[in-house]
Structures are given as C-alpha cells and as structure tokens.
Chains A and B, each alone.
Chain A
Amino acid sequence: GIQVEQSPPDLILQEGANSTLRCNFSDSVNNLQWFHQNPWGQLINLFYIPSGTKQNGRLSATTVATERYSLLYISSSQTTDSGVYFCAPGDYKLSFGAGTTVTVRA
C-alpha cells in the first residue's frame, strides 16, 4: 500500500501564528484529501487536492503530484484549529498518515 509520512508529528502554535504541515507519499495517486479530526473525533473534509493549489479561508493546500508531496498551510491560527490533521492519498482506498497534532494556545 501507499506509505504516508506526515511532519511534524506535533505542532504547538500561539493564536495568530502561521504554519505549514507536510505530507510525503510513496506512489502516484488519483486522489488526495486533507482532513481535520476535531477533539470529538469527527473527521472534517478540508480539501480534495490530487494536484495544484486550493484555498479555503485561512487554509490553503498545495499538492505537487510529480514529487509526491502535499502541503497544508494554516494562517492566523485560532484555537478552533486545534486537532489532528490527516493527509490521505489514494484512489478508491484512502491511506492515512499518522497525522499532525496541532495545539493552538490563546
């Protein structure tokens, strides 16, 4: 299966700070999604981004498919951004990384 490496594993931010999360994957893929798992366990879709760049409010993502990596940018972080961020490349079957645990402090 596809190997997925996410970095950093943990990130502590002061409210208002910017950050970049990275996802490296081992094979070419047709599908790549970013998720935020909130403290209640719910997985929230952030982006469907097998290639290119997308923006949604304070979040943006870039996937460079030829180099097999994706980046998630969080700008002006808020305490509600806390949780675990997962990158999930794949096709019909998404392969999840171990996630980046983000803690935003007020």
Chain B
Amino acid sequence: DSGVTQTPKHLITATGQRVTLRCSPRSGDLSVYWYQQSLDQGLQFLIQYYNGEERAKGNILERFSAQQFPDLHSELNLSSLELGDSALYFCASSVTSAVTDTQYFGPGTRLTVL
C-alpha cells in the first residue's frame, strides 16, 4: 500500500458525459501527479500540482482539467468523454516538487466509456 488513495476504483459511463476522479496523496506529500495508461498510448504524464498550484503539464487534453485543493487532495475532471478516453488513471504523490523525489502511485481508477 503506497498510502495514495484514489476513488472510485471503477467508473463506467457513456460518451459525452463528465466524470470526476479523486486522489488523496500520502500524508505530508505536497505534490500530486496524474498519469493515464491506455492500450494505445501506454503510460503518460498528464499534469502535476504542487501545494495547490499547477506546476507542469504533459499530454493533457483540453477536455480534461485538474485542481488541487487546500487539503492537498486532487481531482481530475474529464468532460465530453469519448471512447478513446477509456483508460486506467493513476494519481501519484511526492514530498516536494523536486525532480529527485520518488513518486508513489495510487491503485488507479479504471474508466470505461461506452
């Protein structure tokens, strides 16, 4: 158990819908990262937050957005869902935003878009 929690574990929804994925980092960690694992793209970095502020962006679609709240939990919002958004979404956390920090991954949320 990494100490990172993600809810829900599974989510099934329809095209065009909007969903919110939630992540609670390890106690004391200030940075949160979101990654997407899909069959065609593999595992790729989406976005990083540090202490409430966006720190870095990767291959995140405009239909996706994220935020980190004052209690440090983070939410990833996915809207206008398409079949291709079906994937495993991971949240990771680290103590700071230093590039040398170990990132610890949560169990993931499996999203299925029908």
Contact = CB atoms under 8 A, between A and B. Distances in A.
Contacts of B102: 33, 45, 48
Contacts of B101: 31
Given A42-B108, A43-B90, A30 B45 contact: no
A27 to B, nearest CB: 13
B24 interface: no
Interface in A54-96: 86, 88, 90-96
Contacts of B48: 92-93
Given A42-B107, A43-B90, A45-B2, A94 B100 contact: no
A59 to B, nearest CB: 16
Interface residues of B, number: 24
A91 B99 contact: yes
Given A43-B90, A86-B43, A98-B42, A92 B97 contact: yes
Interface in B70-114: 88, 90, 97, 99-105, 107-108, 110
B95 to A, nearest CB: 12
A46 to B, nearest CB: 11
User: Which of B43, B58, B101, B110 gathers the greatest number of chain A CB atoms within 10 Å?
Assistant: B43
B104 A45 contact: yes
Interface string A8-42: 00000000000000000000001101010000011
B100 A30 contact: yes
Contacts of B110: 41
Contacts of A90: 45, 99
Nearest to B97: A92
